[in-house]
Amino acid sequence: MKKYELLATDGRARRGRFTTPHGVIETPVFMNVGTVAAIKGAVSTMDLHDIHTQVELSNTYHLHVRPGDDVIKKIGGLHKFMNWDKPILTDSGGFQVFSLAGLRKIKEEGVHFNSHIDGRKIFMGPEESMQIQSNLASTIAMAFDECPPHPATREYMQNSVDRTTRWLRRCKAEMERLNALPDTINKEQMLFGIDQGGTFEDIRINHARAIRELDLDGYAIGGLAVGETHEQMYHILDVTVPELPQDKPIYLMGVGTPQNILEAVERGVDFFDCVYPARNGRHGHAYTNHGKMNLQNKKYELDDRPIEVGCGCPACRHYSRAYIRHLLKAKEMLGLRLLVLHNLYFYNTMMEEIREAIEKGTFSEYKKNKLARMEAGLDE
């Protein structure tokens, strides 16, 4: 049975279905980020069912440091630990490792760095990342890659990408070994490789061609949204996405705003994740179809409407702008929680709308109308 089924296209936009050991993912999809096995803002996995979440994303490095992937394995894996029965994607830890590591500590075997919690020395390479992710027993594991700094010289970027390719081969071999062990919790764990290359068009294209030969379960585009312009990012997607296998899901890592997602879907991307909806919610900001709102603003003091009229999220079904503003001003955690729930629901339902528009062949019209409403900022 094919894992990824392309159901419809509209231009380059793709409407797909990805079958995993933990259920079906309808794509394009926005994954909800729960770095340490919890969505920041006091949002539980019970809440995730209410806000139409399909995939939860957790961080390999953070869970390795605390509580320890060995602890999670003894409990029965991440799904059991956090009581979530749908797919989980774990990132490889590469992004965190490289933000913590002095560049001189990157070697062929892996990376030496100090824990951000207690300073203890940790080593992580491709095999270690795969072992940790196997212990976590996530649905999809990401390959261990180097996230090159932006900007970087062409020479640095080429050397980095070549090493990432060698590491990817090691990741694949190690995952095959781990999936065959008798005590492995998820013996069908999937592996996504990552295309790197910064804004160097030819390095991106050549890397995509090299990694597509490995016939992985899916492919990601990493190292974007790190300081380049939106136009540069969209150009890299224009040249890279067509080089990746069209019968596998394509994941744009760490992106982004609703506008970024609409532009990337138009260029053939299937998977997204970003901390924006939760982070902005915790700062009092709400995403809506008429743009972003700052609920701390005095103009909402007597506003008894929901954040967005017609929204079906738990916050909008039960509470007013005035009440949520009061909670924020009183520094009550409930205010942050309600905004995070609303923002994640907004993103998740936007993806539902996108999927429907691609099926109907009306995606470009949908995108144009959605962007125009958000930019007009008319509070209906």
Q: For residue 380, what pLDDT is reported? A: 60
Point out the domain boundary residue: 229, 257, 273: 273
Residues 310, 291 within the same domain: yes
Q: How confident is the model at residue 36 (pLDDT cuts 50, 70, 90)?
A: confident
Q: For residue 120, what pLDDT is reported? A: 87
Residues 364, 228 within the same domain: no
Q: What SS3 state is found at 75?
A: helix
Q: For residue 116, what pLDDT is reported? A: 85
Q: For residue 105, what pLDDT is reported? A: 81
Helix (H) or strand (E) segment spanning residue 18: strand 13-20
The answer to whether residues 245 and 193 touch, using CB atoms and an 8 Å cutoff, is: no
Residues 245, 291 within the same domain: no
Mean pLDDT lowest among 84-93, 113-122, 191-200, 233-242:
113-122
Q: For residue 149, what pLDDT is reported? A: 85
Point out the domain boundary residue: 245, 273, 301: 273
Residue with tokens 């929680």: 337
* pLDDT mean over 7-33: 98
Residues 190, 41 within the same domain: yes
Residues 327, 224 within the same domain: no
Provide the domain limits for residue 200.
4-273
Residues 235, 342 within the same domain: no
- The total of structural domains in the chain comes to 2
Residues 258, 330 within the same domain: no
* pLDDT mean over 140-152: 93
Q: Which of 126, 202, 193, 127 minimizes the C-alpha distance to 157?
A: 202
Mean pLDDT score across all residues of the chain? 96
* pLDDT mean over 185-195: 98
Q: For residue 150, what pLDDT is reported? A: 86
CB atoms within 10 A of CB 3: 14
* pLDDT mean over 68-77: 98
H-only helix segments in the chain: 45-50, 60-65, 69-75, 78-82, 94-100, 126-136, 154-179, 201-212, 230-240, 258-266, 276-282, 314-318, 321-329, 333-360, 363-376
Residues 285, 178 within the same domain: no
Q: What is the DSSP letter of 77?
A: -
Q: Is the pTM of this model over 0.95?
A: yes
Residues 265, 289 within the same domain: no
Residue 219 pLDDT greater than 60, yes or no: yes
Residue 208 pLDDT greater than 70, yes or no: yes
* φ/ψ of residue 5, rounded to 5: -115, 125
Residues 256, 300 within the same domain: no
Residue 102 pLDDT greater than 90, yes or no: no
Q: For residue 101, what pLDDT is reported? A: 67
Q: For residue 19, what pLDDT is reported? A: 98
Point out the domain boundary residue: 215, 248, 273: 273
Q: CATH code at 68?
A: 3.20.20.105
The answer to whether residues 312 and 341 touch, using CB atoms and an 8 Å cutoff, is: no
Mean pLDDT lowest among 124-128, 180-184, 205-209, 375-379:
375-379
Q: What pLDDT, in 10s, does the model give residues 310-327?
A: 999 999 999 999 999 999
Residue 103 pLDDT greater than 70, yes or no: no
Q: For residue 104, what pLDDT is reported? A: 57
Q: For residue 308, what pLDDT is reported? A: 97
Of all residues in the chain, what percent carry a pLDDT higher than 90? 89
Residues with a catalytic annotation lie at: 91, 273
Q: How confident is the model at residue 54 (pLDDT cuts 50, 70, 90)?
A: very high
The answer to whether residues 122 and 101 touch, using CB atoms and an 8 Å cutoff, is: no
Residues 25, 149 within the same domain: yes
Residue 178 pLDDT greater than 80, yes or no: yes
Residue 378 pLDDT greater than 90, yes or no: no
Mean pLDDT lowest among 6-20, 145-159, 313-327:
145-159
Residue 35 pLDDT greater than 90, yes or no: no
* pLDDT mean over 16-20: 98
Q: What pLDDT, in 10s, does the model give residues 236-265?
A: 999 999 999 999 999 999 999 999 999 999
* pLDDT mean over 321-343: 98
Residue with the larger pLDDT of the pair 137 and 151: 137
* pLDDT mean over 120-132: 94
Residues 258, 356 within the same domain: no
Give Cα 129 distance to the centre of its chain. 18
